[in-house]
A and B are shown apart, each in its own frame.
Chain A
Amino acid sequence: MAEWFVAKAAELPEGDRRIVVAGKDEVGVFHHGGAYYAYSNYCVHSGGPACEGILINKVVDLIDADRTYQGQTFSDEVHFVCPWHGYEYELATGRCVGDRRLKLKKYQVVRRGDDIYVVT
Chain B
Amino acid sequence: MDTVPSEVRKLNFDDYSTAKHLEHAAAQAYARNFQDFLIVDVDAHHYENESYKEVFAYIESPVIRHDVIDSAQRPGRSAMINASVGNQNLGGRITRANLRRLQKVPADGRHRDIAMTLEWMDAMGVDYACMFPTPMLFLGLHPQVEIEVALCRAYNRWLCERILAVEPRLVSMLYIPFNDPEAAYKTVKDFGDCKGVVGFMVTSPRYRPVHDNAYMKTYALLEEMGKPISFHAAYSWEDRALQMTNRFISVHSLGFMWFNMIHMTNWVVNGLPERFPKLKVLWIESGLTWAYSLMQRLDHSYMMRTSDCPSLRRKPSEYMREMYFSSQPMEKPDDPSILEATFKMINAETQLLWSSDYPHWDFDLPGVIYDLPFLSEKAKRNILGANAARVFGLDTKVVKRIP
A-B contact count (CB 8 A): 85
Knowing A83-B96, A85-B361 are in contact, say whether A3-B3 is a contact too (CB < 8 A). Answer: yes
Q: Classify the secondary structure of A's interface with B.
A: strand
- A75-111 residues at the B interface, CB under 8 angstroms: 81, 83-86, 88
Interface size in chain B (residues, C-beta < 8 A): 30
Knowing A3-B3, A117-B3 are in contact, say whether A19-B93 is a contact too (CB < 8 A). Answer: no
In the assembled complex, which residues on chain A have CB atoms less than 8 Å from the CB atom of B364?
46
- 1/0 contact trace for A13-53 toward B, CB 8 Å? 00011111111000000000000000000100011110011
Cβ-closest chain A residue relative to B91: A56
How distant is A11 from chain B, measured CB to nearest CB, in Å? 9
A7 to B92, CA, bound (A): 28
Does B85 sit within 8 A of A, measured CB to CB?
A: no
Select which of A2, A21, A85, A117 is within 8 A of B9 by beta carbon: A21
Select which of A4, A47, A86, A119 is within 8 A of B90 by beta carbon: A86
How distant is A109 from chain B, measured CB to nearest CB, in Å? 13
Select which of A3, A47, A81 is within 8 A of B2 by beta carbon: A3
B11:A52 contact, CB within 8 angstroms: yes
Most chain A CB neighbours (cut-off 10 Å) among B6, B94, B368: B6
- 1/0 contact trace for B2-22 toward A, CB 8 Å? 111111111100000000010
Select which of A5, A16, A42, A81 is within 8 A of B93 by beta carbon: A81
Does B23 sit within 8 A of A, measured CB to CB?
A: yes
A18:B9 contact, CB within 8 angstroms: yes
Knowing A53-B93, A83-B94 are in contact, say whether A2-B4 is a contact too (CB < 8 A). Answer: yes
Select which of B6, B21, B368 is within 8 A of A4 by beta carbon: B6
Interface size in chain A (residues, C-beta < 8 A): 32
How distant is B184 from chain A, measured CB to nearest CB, in Å? 35
- B10-44 residues at the A interface, CB under 8 angstroms: 10-11, 21, 23-25, 28
A54 to B90, CA, bound (A): 11
- B344-397 residues at the A interface, CB under 8 angstroms: 361-365, 367-368
Does B63 sit within 8 A of A, measured CB to CB?
A: no
Cβ-closest chain A residue relative to B96: A83
In the assembled complex, which residues on chain B have CB atoms less than 8 Å from the CB atom of A83?
21, 93-96
A3 to B3, CA, bound (A): 5
A54 to B95, CA, bound (A): 8
In the assembled complex, which residues on chain B have CB atoms less than 8 Å from the CB atom of A84?
21, 94, 363
Cβ-closest chain B residue relative to A17: B11
A18:B10 contact, CB within 8 angstroms: yes
Select which of B8, B24, B365 is within 8 A of A7 by beta carbon: B8
Knowing A85-B94, A85-B361 are in contact, say whether A6-B368 is a contact too (CB < 8 A). Answer: no
In the assembled complex, which residues on chain B have CB atoms less than 8 Å from the CB atom of A60?
none
How distant is B396 from chain A, measured CB to nearest CB, in Å? 26
A85 to B28, CA, bound (A): 17
In the assembled complex, which residues on chain B have CB atoms less than 8 Å from the CB atom of A3?
1-4
A75 to B90, CA, bound (A): 17
A72 to B8, CA, bound (A): 38
In the assembled complex, which residues on chain B have CB atoms less than 8 Å from the CB atom of A86?
90, 93-94, 361
Does A65 sit within 8 A of B, measured CB to CB?
A: no
Cβ-closest chain A residue relative to B28: A47
B3:A2 contact, CB within 8 angstroms: yes
Cβ-closest chain A residue relative to B10: A18
B92:A54 contact, CB within 8 angstroms: yes
A85:B11 contact, CB within 8 angstroms: no
Most chain A CB neighbours (cut-off 10 Å) among B1, B8, B92, B96: B8
Query: 9 tightest CB-CB pairs across the interface, nearest first?
Result: A4-B6, A21-B7, A83-B95, A19-B9, A86-B93, A81-B93, A86-B90, A2-B2, A2-B4
Given contact pairs A18-B9, A81-B90, a sample of 4 additional A-B residue pairs in the complex whose CB atoms are under 8 Å apart:
A2-B4, A5-B8, A47-B365, A53-B95
- 7 of the cross-chain contacts (CB-CB < 8 Å) are A3-B3, A4-B6, A5-B6, A20-B8, A21-B7, A47-B367, A52-B11
